[in-house]
């Protein structure tokens, strides 16, 4: 059985964290502190963990389905997860040095951080509306 409740809890925790981060980064002086750095690191770790768990639990099941639509959505999800991780890694390389934020252009940093957050939130919407219902249908039937 896929632990959908846990996956939804992860989504909620990450979504709450995005609200805090988005509010904090609006003020330049709040970007250069230890707490903001920790929150960004926590955000990145939580998103990576969630994507890995989703791949292992949801996509792996959908990929073995005889339903071509299920396989197609699983492949899209895996590709999307890789793209999100690539964007996160690029963001970290650009804005972090030795685990700390180093911001030269605040407005660009805020724009890129907000785009990254939107990417994750859009991903959660797709998971909730398409991927998880499909997995419930396809995977839980086989486990009976």
- The per-residue pLDDT for 32 is 82
- The per-residue pLDDT for 1 is 83
User: pLDDT tens, 11-69?
Assistant: 999 999 999 999 999 999 999 889 999 999 999 999 999 999 999 999 999 999 999 99
CA 47, distance to chain mean position in Å, is 4
- The per-residue pLDDT for 126 is 96
Could you tell me the pTM of the whole model? 0.92
User: pLDDT tens, 85-135?
Assistant: 999 999 999 999 887 888 999 999 999 999 999 999 999 999 999 999 999
Give the C-alpha separation, 55 to 117, whole Å: 20
CA 10, distance to chain mean position in Å, is 10
Helix (H, G, I), strand (E, B) or coil at 99: coil
Fold of 4-142: 1.20.120
Burial (CB count <10 Å: 0-12, 13-18, 19+), residue 42: middle
- The per-residue pLDDT for 142 is 58
- Would you list the domain boundaries of the chain? 4-142
Question: Dihedral through CA 40, CA 41, CA 42, CA 43, nearest 10?
Answer: 50
- The per-residue pLDDT for 141 is 62
pLDDT band at 140 (very low <50, low <70, confident <90, very high): confident
CA-closest candidate to residue 103, choices 94, 115, 116: 94
CA-closest candidate to residue 6, choices 54, 41, 39: 54
Reading the block at residue 125, the tokens are 């919407």
């Amino acid at each position: 059985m896929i632990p959908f409740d846990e996956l939804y809890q992860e989504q909620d925790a990450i979504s709450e964290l995005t609200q805090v981060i988005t509010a904090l980064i609006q003020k330049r002086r709040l970007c250069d502190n230890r707490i903001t750095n920790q929150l960004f690191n926590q955000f990145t770790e939580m998103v990576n963990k969630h994507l890995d768990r989703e791949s292992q639990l949801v996509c792996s099941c959908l990929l073995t389905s005889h339903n071509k639509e299920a396989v197609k959505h699983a492949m899209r999800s895996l590709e999307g997860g890789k793209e999100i991780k690539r964007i996160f890694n690029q963001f970290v390389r650009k804005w972090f040095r030795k685990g700390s934020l180093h911001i030269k252009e605040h407005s660009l940093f805020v724009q890129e951080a907000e785009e990254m957050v939107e990417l994750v939130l859009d991903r959660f919407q797709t998971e909730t509306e398409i991927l998880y219902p499909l997995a419930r249908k396809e995977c839980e039937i086989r486990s009976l």
